[in-house]
């Protein structure tokens, strides 16, 4: 919400508008969710971006909006700005469409003067992007006023539908009392007492924030689907999902709920459904881009296609609600080590506020699908901390048993240390619990104690072993609770019993954190030998703060602080980590090889020492069509710009393996597709060529080096020491005298 204030003299006082003479709503769906007109003055102008024409729009407005317009005597104008932007070649970018409408209606300046000023501003802002971009924006301006229409407002309310409540009635108490008020923009009316005293917020709240942003949503065609699961894997918002189940589960399915036979020789007779969450989908189209199936009959038809949301919304809502209550298959049924099997697992990261097409969030979602019920996440400041803890909601959530990630955000400069602290705490609690178990064996049963102690350990951290251990812990807790005399030690063990289930610590952040501001701490934590897993979501630029160059920014890319194209190459973080010898390192790109990504996550978690995954993350800062996010990743890998590899210190023989093919696409061709590079090609073609030649040299030399590394044999793996209870080492002295 922006408050713009105008007057004949400069306004220097700082206040928000209380009575607005002009209100514009750039997103029609907001009218369904919040009181957009609360500040409108009687007789004010109301400009609405509407997908419906002027003669239809009135009946689409909720009761409350109609009543306010009538009561306040508002002057209602509509424009289908998305249509105009599309026609002008601007995709979904509507700002240059809405701006002239504002000037035309507000009467702040003569219309022609305003249009001329807008065009001058466009030239200044987009000039360096090239003539086409300027021409498209000019066209948008010219088309806008012709598409602007006044609506004849009837004298009475005709709507029957009311505005939706901020959250559904089935939302939990805290969400109703606190989250909903914040969502409704009333957060500053909450008393301090309503907020959690220790700052701990419940997870699983993003699901209650139904944004219904998408103009188009994916529509599934089961008849040609091949069950690959790629669409679900890549969805940045967990808004397209997959499940496999007994056909009997479909008994009470709503009309239109789609399913097909699950193609599996090992598991015949099961059904499969791919289901969209229509209110949570952002319409980015990445799922369609990666769908590998094309209809033989119908040109351009894939197993999923984007279609306007209107006709599908209600049906898909009902289908998604039904889909959610179908239990996922037992973990053992399909295993975990394939894209397909990972995607029938429940995501515990869903519906974040990340950009449409975000390249980071699919990695986080996958992380929760694989280990979500036992992970602890330390999240550095950056995009992932914003969409990860975007008050009032968080996309991190829990499963039906209430298990899910514990998450906290720390600073750019200390997040690795923050996560190490989580690891040390978990290890210390575990060691103390083991000590207490041994002491209390006579009271709680020596057999149970022996089983718990034997099962516990990193090698037992698979789903089945963990499920068994959880059962034992429940039994232990119940026996402890039943002890006739609750000793201090029994009480302490009851408190610590949960620490006997292995915890998986993940330290997450972007390249600004890992390559730059937090790099000293990251190095220190990786060198500690402790069992932490680091996931770097590498967008190669400070995305959240506006696109400043980091040490991950590649040579030749244009970014803030590198407007002439970054002259130096990208820091080879993976190579630096491999220099330690005892760190699991993988470089992945989901769009380049999704199976390699899944395997790297599994291997990183399994390695009992430090692990580092560097994940190529496409970003709006790259200047690409985000619908093709995954295709760009594929080209990054094909060109050798982003080689895929793994270094597994647990492998005695050859710990380093290359997971992508010899580069086959010139780097310059890959780079030319992205505005971050192409800007330089336009503004300084010679410099661009030189830097691209250097980049090609980088690629070629790195590839040769990797090929050599792949041939280096090792004699012994370098296993970390098991953590103990003995505490921080004290001092030792070498002096013999003074």
Q: Which of 30, 34, 70, 133 binds a second copy (CB under 8 A)?
A: 133
Q: Which of 192, 454, 485, 734 binds a second copy (CB under 8 A)?
A: 734
User: Residue 99 has which token pair?
Assistant: 């701006």
Cα–Cα distance between 302 and 286 in angstroms, integer?
13
Closest CA to 488 of 445, 432, 450, 424: 432
Strand partners, 275: 241
Cα–Cα distance between 511 and 380 in angstroms, integer?
10
Looking at residues 639 to 698 of the shown chain, list those that interact with a second copy (rule: CB under 8 A): 675-676, 679, 694, 697-698
Q: Which of 380, 558, 588, 630 binds a second copy (CB under 8 A)?
A: 558
Sketch the per residue contact string, 444 through 463, with a second copy: x for CB under 8 A, - otherwise: --------------------
Q: Is 520 in the site for a second copy (CB under 8 A)?
A: yes
* Alpha-carbon radius of gyration of the chain: 28
Alpha helices in 21-130 (DSSP H): 30-33, 57-60, 63-72, 81-87, 95-106, 111-126
Q: Is 705 in the site for a second copy (CB under 8 A)?
A: yes
Helix H or strand E encompassing 43: strand 40-49
Q: Which of 518, 556, 643, 649 binds a second copy (CB under 8 A)?
A: 518
Q: Which of 250, 406, 576, 684 binds a second copy (CB under 8 A)?
A: 576
Q: Is 727 in the site for a second copy (CB under 8 A)?
A: no
Pick the closer one to a second copy by CB: 90 or 436. 90
Q: Is 568 in the site for a second copy (CB under 8 A)?
A: yes
Q: Which of 127, 581, 672, 685 binds a second copy (CB under 8 A)?
A: 581
Residue 511 neighbours by CB distance under 10 Å = 26
Cα–Cα distance between 41 and 30 in angstroms, integer?
19
Q: 272 near 259, Cβ under 8 Å?
A: yes
Q: Which of 529, 556, 643, 646 binds a second copy (CB under 8 A)?
A: 529
Sketch the per residue contact string, 48 through 87, with a second copy: x for CB under 8 A, - otherwise: -------------------------------------x--
Long-range contacts of 106-112 (CB under 8 A, 24+ apart): 106/6, 106/21, 106/22, 106/45, 108/6, 111/145
Pick the closer one to a second copy by CB: 135 or 441. 135
Pick the closer one to a second copy by CB: 188 or 729. 729
**Window contacting a second copy (CB under 8 A); options: 225-233, 397-405, 658-666, 707-715:** 707-715
Query: Least distance in Å: CB of 700 to a second copy?
Result: 7
Pick the closer one to a second copy by CB: 114 or 122. 122
Q: Is 716 in the site for a second copy (CB under 8 A)?
A: yes
3-class secondary-structure state, position 213? coil
Query: Least distance in Å: CB of 592 to a second copy?
Result: 22
Query: Least distance in Å: CB of 705 to a second copy?
Result: 6
Q: Is 546 in the site for a second copy (CB under 8 A)?
A: yes
Size of site (CB under 8 A) for a second copy: 77
Q: Which of 560, 654, 657, 682 binds a second copy (CB under 8 A)?
A: 560
Query: Least distance in Å: CB of 701 to a second copy?
Result: 6
Residue 92 neighbours by CB distance under 10 Å = 11
Pick the closer one to a second copy by CB: 447 or 736. 736
Q: Cα dihedral sign for 655, 600, 625, 551?
A: negative
Query: Least distance in Å: CB of 732 to a second copy?
Result: 4
Q: Cα dihedral sign for 493, 497, 500, 505?
A: negative
CB burial class (10 A; 0-12, 13-18, 19+) of residue 124?
Answer: exposed
Q: What are the distances in angstroms from CA 128 to CA 131, 460, 557, 623, 681? A: 8, 57, 15, 13, 11
Sketch the per residue contact string, 395 through 414, with a second copy: x for CB under 8 A, - otherwise: --------------------
Pick the closer one to a second copy by CB: 44 or 420. 420
Q: Is 551 in the site for a second copy (CB under 8 A)?
A: yes
Residue 375 main-chain phi, psi, to 5 deg: -100, 150
């Amino acid at each position: 919400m922006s408050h713009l204030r105008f007057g004949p003299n400069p306004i220097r006082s700082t206040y928000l508008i209380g009575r607005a003479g002009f209100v514009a709503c750039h997103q029609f769906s907001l009218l369904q969710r919040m009181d957009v007109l609360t500040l409108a003055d009687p007789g004010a102008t109301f400009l609405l971006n509407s997908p419906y024409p002027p003669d239809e729009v009135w009946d689409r407005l909720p009761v409350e909006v109609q009543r306010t317009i009538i009561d306040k005597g508002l002057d209602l104008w509509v424009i289908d700005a998305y249509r105009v932007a599309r026609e002008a070649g601007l995709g979904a970018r509507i700002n240059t469409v809405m701006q002239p409408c504002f000037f035309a209606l507000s009467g702040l300046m003569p219309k022609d003067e305003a249009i001329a000023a807008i065009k001058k501003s466009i030239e200044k802002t987009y000039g360096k992007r090239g003539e086409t971009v300027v021409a498209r924006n000019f066209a948008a301006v010219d088309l806008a006023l012709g598409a602007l229409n006044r609506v004849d407002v009837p004298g009475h309310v005709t709507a029957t539908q009311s505005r939706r409540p901020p959250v559904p009635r089935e939302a939990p108490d805290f969400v109703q009392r606190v989250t909903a008020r914040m969502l409704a923009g009333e957060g500053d009316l909450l008393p301090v007492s309503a907020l959690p005293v220790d700052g701990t917020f419940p997870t699983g709240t993003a699901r209650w924030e139904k944004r219904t942003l998408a103009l188009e949503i994916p529509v599934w065609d089961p008849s040609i689907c091949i069950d690959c699961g790629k669409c679900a894997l890549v969805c940045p918002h967990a808004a397209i999902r997959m499940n496999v189940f007994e056909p009997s589960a479909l008994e009470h399915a709503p009309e239109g709920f789609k399913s097909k036979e699950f193609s599996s020789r090992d598991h015949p007779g099961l059904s499969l459904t791919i289901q969209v969450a229509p209110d949570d989908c952002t319409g980015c189209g990445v799922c369609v881009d990666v769908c590998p199936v094309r209809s033989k009959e119908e040109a351009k038809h894939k197993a999923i296609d984007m279609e306007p949301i209107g006709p599908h919304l209600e049906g898909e809502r009902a289908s998604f609600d039904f889909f959610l209550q179908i239990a996922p298959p037992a973990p053992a049924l399909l295993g975990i080590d394939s894209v397909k099997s990972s995607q029938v697992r429940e995501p515990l990261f869903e519906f974040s506020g990340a950009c449409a097409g975000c390249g980071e969030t699919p990695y986080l979602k996958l992380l929760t699908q694989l280990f979500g019920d036992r992970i602890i996440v330390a999240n550095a400041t950056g995009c992932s901390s914003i969409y990860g803890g975007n008050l009032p909601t968080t996309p991190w959530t829990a499963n039906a048993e209430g298990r899910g990630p514990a998450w906290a955000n720390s600073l750019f400069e200390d997040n690795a240390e923050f996560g190490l602290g989580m690891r040390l705490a978990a290890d210390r609690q575990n060691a103390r619990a083991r000590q207490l178990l041994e002491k209390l064996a006579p009271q709680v049963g020596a057999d149970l104690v022996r089983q718990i102690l034997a099962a516990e350990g990193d090698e037992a951290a698979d789903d089945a072993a963990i499920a068994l251990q959880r059962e034992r812990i429940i039994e232990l807790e119940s026996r402890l609770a039943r002890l006739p005399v609750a000793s201090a030690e029994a009480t302490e063990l009851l408190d610590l019993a949960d620490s006997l289930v292995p915890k998986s610590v993940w330290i997450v952040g972007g390249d600004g954190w890992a390559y730059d501001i937090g790099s000293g701490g990251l190095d220190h934590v990786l060198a500690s030998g402790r069992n932490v897993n680091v996931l770097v979501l590498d967008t190669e630029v400070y995305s959240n703060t506006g696109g400043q160059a980091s040490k991950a920014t590649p040579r030749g890319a244009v970014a803030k602080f590198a407007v002439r194209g970054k002259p130096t190459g990208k820091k080879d973080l993976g190579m630096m980590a491999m220099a330690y010898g005892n760190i699991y390192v993988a470089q992945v790109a989901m769009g380049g090889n999704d199976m390699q990504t899944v395997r790297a996550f599994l291997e990183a978690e399994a390695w009992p020492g430090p692990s580092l995954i560097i994940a190529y993350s496409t970003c709006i800062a790259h200047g690409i069509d985000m619908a093709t996010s995954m295709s760009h990743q594929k080209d990054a890998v094909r060109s050798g710009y982003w080689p895929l590899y793994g270094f597994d210190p647990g492998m005695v023989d050859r710990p380093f393996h290359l997971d992508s093919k010899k580069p086959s696409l010139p780097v310059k061709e890959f780079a030319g597709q992205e505005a971050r590079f192409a800007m330089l090609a336009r503004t300084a073609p010679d410099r661009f060529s030189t830097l691209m030649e250097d980049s090609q040299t980088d690629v070629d030399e790195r590839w040769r080096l990797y090929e050599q590394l792949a041939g280096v044999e090792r004699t012994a793996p370098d296993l970390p020491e098991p953590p103990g209870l003995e505490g921080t080492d004290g001092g030792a002295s070498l002096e013999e005298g003074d």
